Chain A
Amino acid sequence: MIRFDKVNFSYGKKEILKDFSLNINDGDKVCFFAPSGFGKTTLLRLIMGLEKVRSGELSGIDDKKISVVFQEDRLLPNKTVLQNIELFADTEDIPSVIERLGLSDAQDMYPHALSGGMARRTAIARALCRQADIYIFDEPFNGIDQKNVEKTAEIIREVTRDKTVLLVTHDRDQAEILGATIVDISESM
Chain B
Amino acid sequence: MISTMQAKFKKALFTAGSIAFWILLWHMGATLANKELLFKIPLPLDTLREFFTCVKTLEFWDSVGTSLWHIVSGFVFAVILGLFCGLLSGSSTFFATLTAPLTRLIRAVPVAAFIILAWLWIPSEIIPAFIAFLMVFPIVWSHVETGLLSVDKRLVEMARVMGMDKKGIIKNITIPSVMPQFRVSCITGLGYAWKSGVAAEVLCNPTGSIGAMMSQAKSNLDYSRVFAIVLMVVLLSFILENIIKFFWKERTA
Contact = CB atoms under 8 A, between A and B. Distances in A.
Interface stretch (A5-13, A33-41, A74-82): A74-82
Contacts of B158: 68, 70, 74
A88 B164 contact: yes
Contact of B163 (A70, A74, A76, A88): A88
Interface string B158-176: 1111111000100011001
Question: Size band of the A side of the interface?
Answer: 20 to 34
Contacts of B157: 50, 70, 74
Contacts of B168: 87
A160 to B, nearest CB: 15
A126 B176 CA distance: 20
A130 interface: yes
B155 interface: yes
Nearest to A45: B157
- The B interface is mostly helix, strand or loop, or mixed, namely helix
B156 to A, nearest CB: 10
Nearest to B158: A74
B194 to A, nearest CB: 31
Interface in B127-161: 154-155, 157-161
Given A76-B172, A78-B176, A112 B253 contact: yes
A70 B154 contact: yes
B251 interface: yes
A50 B253 contact: no
Contacts, number: 45
A85 to B, nearest CB: 11
Contacts of A127: 162
Given A77-B253, A78-B253, A110-B253, A68 B172 contact: no
Interface residues of B, number: 16
A45 to B, nearest CB: 9
A48 interface: yes
Contact of A88 (B154, B162, B176, B251): B162
B163 A87 contact: no
A5 B155 CA distance: 30
Contacts of B172: 76, 79, 87
Nearest to A126: B162
Interface in A30-72: 48-50, 65-68, 70, 72
Nearest to B175: A78
Contacts of A112: 253
A87 B167 CA distance: 13
12 contacts: A49-B161, A67-B162, A68-B162, A70-B154, A76-B173, A76-B176, A78-B253, A87-B168, A88-B164, A112-B253, A127-B162, A130-B163
Given A72-B154, A74-B155, A76-B172, 19 more contacts: A48-B161, A49-B161, A50-B157, A50-B160, A65-B163, A66-B161, A67-B162, A68-B161, A68-B162, A70-B157, A76-B173, A77-B253, A79-B253, A87-B172, A88-B159, A88-B164, A110-B253, A112-B253, A126-B162
